[in-house]
């Protein structure tokens, strides 16, 4: 999540020194300021031990706050600073204020800007997940990477067959072990056979890797009682299965850090852009911030939810009917996904499963809605191991 809890709100008046760090894999440019002036700016090795020794030597007894941008170096520096009793903020690069018209960007300038932003109380730190949620993120990312490669390899095989004028073995275009066996027996030239065999081997590798990652995710969650309970609660919501639930748990982190019902939708980029002033209210498309893969999964889950849940199906139709047909389905299903975030919030915060009551009085899906649902689900299933 991207919002600090109220109890951990940063107050500049509580600190004497403000340290901005521009970090890369080998070094970090570190700027120290107090409430009135620049104290020093030095480059040092990327080492929390080196940084801690420096502040002990030159700023003994001072209350020091640190800040750096989230990036490929992860949260190891944050862990070490917090473990030594210091306050440290990790901020999203897109949320660091930049003066308009500034066209020069260097490590020294970025470091100074972070230090001054921290001193002015202009920076809002992201929530740093605990180690178990970080490890779950690694596993989820691995599963998604292998699934994407699996889908890409399927497209490459079909593209090769189309180029060579060879019909794909399955009439419906779907994949199965029988289709793989038929691909291995297709008559084609030696060069095409070699390329096809290599692609089939790649396909099987990514399939096995994605399956192993999914099994490891399941084992990892089952060994942690809190994670196991969160997954159980999330999967009680219509439209949310284990794939979406584990991704949600990894990205949202500790459910205790979720402060309000709007926070999840904002984190997933499912809230509308707004440019309003005075009496004029102007809202646009969704912000699309945060994890795009998780947002897309939740939207795919919304298609399943409207099939199972009469209340969500009626909600989908209301939104669909008051929008032009060319955009009605898209806006309606995004609105359903946004509504799912309120259920996610409720089950996680209240620690009780969603009470699903099938409502037979609601009209079932129409033929058009069923066709659209099948099309969406077919696309989603092709990406899963």
Q: What is the pLDDT of residues 115-162, one digit of tens each?
A: 999 999 999 998 899 999 999 999 999 999 999 999 999 999 999 999
Contact 372, 329 (CB under 8 A): yes
Distance separating alpha carbons of residues 354 and 238, to the nearest angstrom: 9
Boundaries of every domain in the chain: 6-119, 131-223, 226-381
Q: Worst-scoring range by mean pLDDT, 248-252, 276-280, 305-309, 373-377? A: 373-377
CA angle 8, 10, 14 (to 5 degrees): 115
pLDDT of residue 362: 58
pLDDT tens-place string over residues 206-233: 999 999 999 999 999 999 999 999 999 9
pLDDT of amino acid 3: 41
Kindly report the number of other CB atoms within 10 A of residue 373's CB atom.
Answer: 16
Average pLDDT over residues 228-239: 96
Task: Give pLDDT, residue 5.
Answer: 40
Contact status, residue 253 vs residue 334, Cβ threshold 8 Å = no
Residue 330: its pLDDT value, please?
A: 93
On whether the 6-119 domain is CATH 3.20.20.70, my answer is no
Residues 250-287: pLDDT tens digits? Answer: 999 999 989 899 999 999 999 988 777 677 767 788 88
Average pLDDT over residues 318-343: 93
274: its two tokens:
């707004």
* Coil, helix or strand at residue 313: helix
Q: Which of 72-76, 199-203, 204-208 has the lowest average pLDDT?
A: 72-76
Average pLDDT, the chain: 90
């Amino acid at each position: 999540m991207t919002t600090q809890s109220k109890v951990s709100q940063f107050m500049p008046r509580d600190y004497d020194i403000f340290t901005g760090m521009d970090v890369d894999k080998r070094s970090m440019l570190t700027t120290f300021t107090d409430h009135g002036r620049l104290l020093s700016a030095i480059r040092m090795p990327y080492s929390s031990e080196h940084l801690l020794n420096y502040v002990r030597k030159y700023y003994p007894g001072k209350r020091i706050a640190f800040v750096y941008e989230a990036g490929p170096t992860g949260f190891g520096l944050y862990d070490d600073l917090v473990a030594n009793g210091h306050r440290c903020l990790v901020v999203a690069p897109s949320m660091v204020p930049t003066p308009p018209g500034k066209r020069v960007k260097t490590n020294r300038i970025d470091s100074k800007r972070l230090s001054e932003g921290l001193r002015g109380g202009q920076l809002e730190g992201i929530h740093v997940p605990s180690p178990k949620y970080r490890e779950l993120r690694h596993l989820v990312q691995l599963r998604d990477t292998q699934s994407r490669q699996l889908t890409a390899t399927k497209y490459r095989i079909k593209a090769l067959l189309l180029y060579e004028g060879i019909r794909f073995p399955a009439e419906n275009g779907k994949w199965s072990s029988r289709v793989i066996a038929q691909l291995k027996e297709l008559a084609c030239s030696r060069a095409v056979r070699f390329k096809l065999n290599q692609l089939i081997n790649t396909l099987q590798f990514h399939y096995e890797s994605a399956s192993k990652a999914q099994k490891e995710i399941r084992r990892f969650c089952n060994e942690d009682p809190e994670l196991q309970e969160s997954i159980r609660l999330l999967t009680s919501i219509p439209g949310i299965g284990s794939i979406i639930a584990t991704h949600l748990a990894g990205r949202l982190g500790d459910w205790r850090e979720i402060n309000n019902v709007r926070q999840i939708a904002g984190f997933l980029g499912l809230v509308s852009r707004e440019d309003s002033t005075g009496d004029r209210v102007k809202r646009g498309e969704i912000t699309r911030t945060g994890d795009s893969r998780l947002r897309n999964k939740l939207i795919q889950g919304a298609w399943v939810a409207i099939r199972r849940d009469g209340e969500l199906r009626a909600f989908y139709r209301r939104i669909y009917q008051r929008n032009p047909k060319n955009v009605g389905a898209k806006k309606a299903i995004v609105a359903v996904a946004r509504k799912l975030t309120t259920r996610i919030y409720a089950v996680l915060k209240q620690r009780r499963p969603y009470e699903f009551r099938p409502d037979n009085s609601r009209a079932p899906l129409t033929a058009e809605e069923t066709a659209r649902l099948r099309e969406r689900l077919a696309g989603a299933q092709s990406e899963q191991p």
